[in-house]
Structure 1
Amino acid sequence: MLNIPTQAFPAPNSQQRIGPSSQSGRNKVALKPGHSLMDWIRFSKSGKDLTGLRGRLIEVTQEELQKHNTRDDCWTCIRGMVYNVTPYMDYHPGGEEELMKAAGIDGTELFDQVHRWVNYESMLKECLVGRMATAIKGTHTFALSISVSVRKQAKRKWTSLGQPLEFHNTFLRKKDRALFYRNCVLVSKTEVNHNTHVFRLQLPRGTVRHVPVGKHVYLKALIKDTEVVRPYTPVDQTMAAASHHSSQDSDLYLMIKVYPDGVLTQHLNSLQIGDLISVSGPEGTFSLRPLRDVTHLYLLAAGTGFTPMARLIRLALQDIDTIRKTKLLFFNRQEEDVLWHRELDELAANDERFQVEYVLSVPSDGWTGRKGRVDECILKDFLSRPDVSKCYACVCGPTAFTELTIGLLKQQGFSEEELHAFQG
């Protein structure tokens, strides 16, 4: 029988350990009813033979892999392990077309470009066909003459310094490095609106973890024997100016929207105060360097895409002297969906350098603000490029919103160097 090693989570090279690039979009498609992540978890745990091999694990040659390259018979290889992804076609958020790009070939590089944070070992565990066969190389024999002089060591109480940790003296590419998770305690859960809460997480005693502005962390949980992981961007405790006490606060605040069909968010919402949540270190590609000498900062957010903007706003108003104007254009479905509505209004009223505008796609009859969705007309009214100014724009929201907005901003004259898209 083929000896397949137990797959640790996350594996040393697993993309679950790495955050998504801010510039690499994930093209999602509308899945058929009954094909959500939870539906896939149920289906994969149903006991059905998803590989077609009746539980056997085999060694797969390059020639054999290449034979399985059709919609109805699709194998792919990720990091030396071969999976039959045919059953997963209709469940793949990126659609059949994206999955077929890796049909019958080594899909590791394609996977890394799009799904760096997905735990494929857990998601496709029941689809594992086996390991790629390793070509046998010719043997070479070398004869060496070595002389060694060893000085006798004086007797010591310590005969050794212990065993080195895993991956000691190992060099990894930055994108392949391991994420380190810690179990944090849920201290409080504060309601923001009808479906969103701020989770306050306390780090383990003696632990210090700083999450830079614009970076995110991962939360992971074992749900129905499947590792489910999602990225979340921390916010501050409040939008108000930081006091000395709040600046010393080491707790982590995550604004989380609970979706009716959200596998992880439903789990998080069920946690009780005192329960543990597994949290990674910070990840992400956002850099504060482009904000040097910026005079006008434009932030465009949709829904929970507001979360990275919250700390950016405070940073711009408190720590970057060159920024004369910070403007937030906030898109939501209804007024009740607006996050930290009152706090944003208060901040705008108390600091003339900050301005916020709301756009609702399904407004009530009494709504007097902007209506509709992001388009060229709305952006023209929102944006201004005064003479002798340096502008920068950040965008965050659903993939379709982000891609459309970035395209519209480029039409308005923004260059690649003046734009950042938060995606994950």
Structure 2
Amino acid sequence: MADSKLKPPTSKDKAPLKPPAVAALSISNLQLPSSAQQKLTVGSNNTGSGSATGNPRNKCALKPGYSLMSWVRLCNSGDDLSGTGGRVVPVSRAELAKHNQVNDAWMAIRGKVFNVTRYMDFHPGGVDELMRGVGRDATKLFDEVHAWVNYPQLLGKCYVGPLKENVTAKVQTVAIRPPPAPTELVPRFDWIQQRSELTLCFYTRRMANPGMLLKRKSAADALELYIQLASSWHVFDFKLSDAVVWPPKAVRVGHETGKIEVVLSKQVAEPWTTYGSQKVDKLNAPSEEHYEYEVLHCADFNHDSFQLSLQSVKEAVLMHVPVGYHLDIEVPHNGQLLERSYTPVPHNCLPSNSAQIDTDSSPGIRQDFLVKYYENGAVSRQLHQLQPGATVRLSLPRGSFALSALEPHRNILLLAAGSGITPILSLLRPLLRRHTNRLERLQLLYFNKTNSDIWLRDKLQALQEADERFTCKHILSQAEQPVQCGRICQELLAPLFDKQQAESFSYVAVCGPTGFNTAALDSLKALNLKPEQVHVFQG
């Protein structure tokens, strides 16, 4: 890291300390020769028929989602691609040499140092080719094959600082520190419209994993929207310019981008001069409010579990639950209220025969659960007896899972036992669809007693067939051949953490009964996993 007195560049700073001027990045302003642009476009379409470097020996088919246009979008997303928090940091050759790994890659070109870590999977020449230049001055190597590329614009958002030949002793003895802790995250609001539609947009942060609650108010031009970020709630009370239709036409929450979009149909199709007005507030602690839901469907799922589908009464609220979070279901029992925690199941994980109870309601108005029935369980027994039209109350989402903790990891292991599969289900598609630091391997070890206890076996098998990066292995304590028999233990997990294997797992998510969780944690600790490499879901 540079001297602690280093300040962000000002207009008085010398030119070499200024980051390269970067306009809104697009293919058109990369200023490539027409032939080179053609090659770059061909290579980015994963055809393997062209080379972005102009060197026919360096062809490499890019992974889906890693085209040049995807890189342009990432550069324009506002992400900190340099890793310096927006500061310009002079870099010595000794410091540059330390950043020579795939997940920590810097290189210097003509006296400018760039952090190319996030560019790895976008490089048309492949990761191995780019790795030839990391940790050193790659100017000569760059000129051999990339002389026509406008690198200041292509890598402008990755700029760390100037390469210093003779950095002062004081700077040399101070290690590069990570960027300062981010300031408190406050959602940023914007709006766009078409003649017949209004879209409310909220920007949080990449991997922020936001939750959302949208309330319909009595007036057709009034809405109240809550955005959940960890334990804080940000409240937007809207008075719109005119009436809108409820429920929303669409609600989109980006697990990776952190962007929330609420698309509303206008009652009268005409342009608005303004969206209206809003009041903004913040709640530092989760609200104890509960919301009334009615039963749409309650039916047995297997021999000891059932499916429960709920819809907001009068469709008054729309709720999006963050990945890995749960809801408390509240029911009356012997004159008092009892609560139990259940994780909603993604609708696409439900059995095919549940399609008959699907509604036209907007996503988020309905919540679906798979619940294990316990003969002595006061809540599960009462829920099992509910008939369509009966009501229960749901809490706001609760949990402590940080989706961002998984971002640095490309090989992730999931350990689930019995009904503990439900929070794991919420992770599968967000992880497999992740564009940044795309996953290489996602494996689920699912522990049960017998084959009849396995939930959603067909769905898990279908996902495994659809994406080769995902595998699901069933382990039974009372096994019938050819399924593996066993219980969670160090010996079972040890082969998955062999440091000599390129695909050794570096992160583990665990959910099951208390005894299962404890045994898993003990085994992982014995295998030298650090606390920050493990998350255990607790009810």
Residue identity matched to 1:394: A
Report the counterpart of residue 397 of structure 2 in structure 1: 282
Residue identity matched to 2:308: F
Residue identity matched to 1:368: P
Q: 2:413 aligns with which of 298, 301, 305?
A: 298
- The whole-number CA distance in structure 2 between the counterparts of 1:381 and 1:218 is 37
Report the counterpart of residue 331 of structure 1 in structure 2: 447
- Listed as ranges, the gaps of 5+ residues in structure 2 are 1-280, 351-358
Report the counterpart of residue 414 of structure 1 in structure 2: 529
Report the counterpart of residue 373 of structure 1 in structure 2: 487
Residue identity matched to 1:223: H
The answer to whether the aligner puts 1:188 opposite 2:274 as a matched pair is: no
Q: How far 1:198 sits from its partner (Å)?
A: 2.2
SS at match of 1:313: helix
Whether the aligned pair in 1 keeps the contact of 2:497 and 2:505 (CA below 8 Å) is: no
Map 1:9-408 onto structure 2 (within 5 A).
174=285, 177-204=286-313, 205-239=315-349, 249-250=363-364, 251-321=366-436, 322-364=438-480, 367-383=481-497, 386-387=501-502, 391-408=506-523
- The whole-number CA distance in structure 1 between the counterparts of 2:503 and 2:369 is 38
Whether the aligned pair in 2 keeps the contact of 1:359 and 1:370 (CA below 8 Å) is: yes
- The whole-number CA distance in structure 2 between the counterparts of 1:381 and 1:417 is 21
Shift in CA distance, 384/226, structure 1 to aligned 2, threshold 3 Å: farther
Q: How far 1:339 sits from its partner (Å)?
A: 0.7
Deviations 1:366-424 (A, max 9, x none): x2121121111211244555448772110111111101101211222211111101112
Shift in CA distance, 219/355, structure 1 to aligned 2, threshold 3 Å: same
* Larger strand proportion of the pair: 2
Shift in CA distance, 387/362, structure 1 to aligned 2, threshold 3 Å: closer
Residue identity matched to 1:213: V
- The whole-number CA distance in structure 1 between the counterparts of 2:454 and 2:498 is 24
Whether the aligned pair in 1 keeps the contact of 2:497 and 2:504 (CA below 8 Å) is: no
- The whole-number CA distance in structure 1 between the counterparts of 2:498 and 2:303 is 34
- The whole-number CA distance in structure 2 between the counterparts of 1:230 and 1:328 is 26
- The whole-number CA distance in structure 1 between the counterparts of 2:361 and 2:492 is 36
Shift in CA distance, 266/347, structure 1 to aligned 2, threshold 3 Å: same
Q: Relative CO higher for 1 or 2, CA cutoff 8 Å, sep ≥ 6?
A: 1
Whether the aligned pair in 2 keeps the contact of 1:239 and 1:347 (CA below 8 Å) is: no
SS at match of 1:394: strand
SS at match of 2:338: strand
- The whole-number CA distance in structure 2 between the counterparts of 1:350 and 1:417 is 30
Deviations 1:206-234 (A, max 9, x none): 31211001001101111111221100111
Whether the aligned pair in 1 keeps the contact of 2:441 and 2:503 (CA below 8 Å) is: no
Report the counterpart of residue 144 of structure 2 in structure 1: none
Report the counterpart of residue 36 of structure 1 in structure 2: none
- The whole-number CA distance in structure 2 between the counterparts of 1:238 and 1:172 is 32
SS at match of 2:491: helix
- The whole-number CA distance in structure 2 between the counterparts of 1:327 and 1:246 is 34
SS at match of 2:320: coil
Shift in CA distance, 171/294, structure 1 to aligned 2, threshold 3 Å: closer
Whether the aligned pair in 1 keeps the contact of 2:496 and 2:505 (CA below 8 Å) is: no
Q: How far 1:190 sits from its partner (Å)?
A: 4.8
Shift in CA distance, 379/396, structure 1 to aligned 2, threshold 3 Å: same
- The whole-number CA distance in structure 2 between the counterparts of 1:210 and 1:171 is 18
- The whole-number CA distance in structure 1 between the counterparts of 2:526 and 2:292 is 45
Please report the TM-score for the alignment, with normalisation by the length of structure 1. Answer: 0.55
SS at match of 2:349: coil
Shift in CA distance, 336/381, structure 1 to aligned 2, threshold 3 Å: farther
SS at match of 2:322: coil
- Listed as ranges, the gaps of 5+ residues in structure 1 are 1-169
Report the counterpart of residue 79 of structure 1 in structure 2: none
Whether the aligned pair in 1 keeps the contact of 2:414 and 2:510 (CA below 8 Å) is: yes
Deviations 1:116-156 (A, max 9, x none): xxxxxxxxxxxxxxxxxxxxxxxxxxxxxxxxxxxxxxxxx
Shift in CA distance, 324/388, structure 1 to aligned 2, threshold 3 Å: closer
- The whole-number CA distance in structure 2 between the counterparts of 1:247 and 1:328 is 32
- The whole-number CA distance in structure 2 between the counterparts of 1:258 and 1:313 is 25
Name the count of aligned residue pairs: 247
**Identity among equivalent pairs (%):** 29
Shift in CA distance, 281/271, structure 1 to aligned 2, threshold 3 Å: same
- The whole-number CA distance in structure 1 between the counterparts of 2:483 and 2:525 is 26
Q: How far 1:203 sits from its partner (Å)?
A: 1.6
Whether the aligned pair in 1 keeps the contact of 2:496 and 2:504 (CA below 8 Å) is: no
SS at match of 1:309: helix
Residue identity matched to 2:317: T
Shift in CA distance, 388/414, structure 1 to aligned 2, threshold 3 Å: same
SS at match of 1:178: coil
Whether the aligned pair in 1 keeps the contact of 2:498 and 2:504 (CA below 8 Å) is: no
SS at match of 1:234: coil
Shift in CA distance, 363/413, structure 1 to aligned 2, threshold 3 Å: same
- The whole-number CA distance in structure 1 between the counterparts of 2:413 and 2:386 is 36
- The whole-number CA distance in structure 2 between the counterparts of 1:420 and 1:273 is 36
Shift in CA distance, 238/376, structure 1 to aligned 2, threshold 3 Å: same
- The whole-number CA distance in structure 1 between the counterparts of 2:482 and 2:505 is 32
SS at match of 2:348: coil
Whether the aligned pair in 1 keeps the contact of 2:294 and 2:312 (CA below 8 Å) is: yes
Q: How far 1:172 sits from its partner (Å)?
A: 8.0
Shift in CA distance, 324/275, structure 1 to aligned 2, threshold 3 Å: same
Whether the aligned pair in 1 keeps the contact of 2:415 and 2:508 (CA below 8 Å) is: yes
Whether the aligned pair in 2 keeps the contact of 1:329 and 1:382 (CA below 8 Å) is: no
Shift in CA distance, 266/291, structure 1 to aligned 2, threshold 3 Å: same
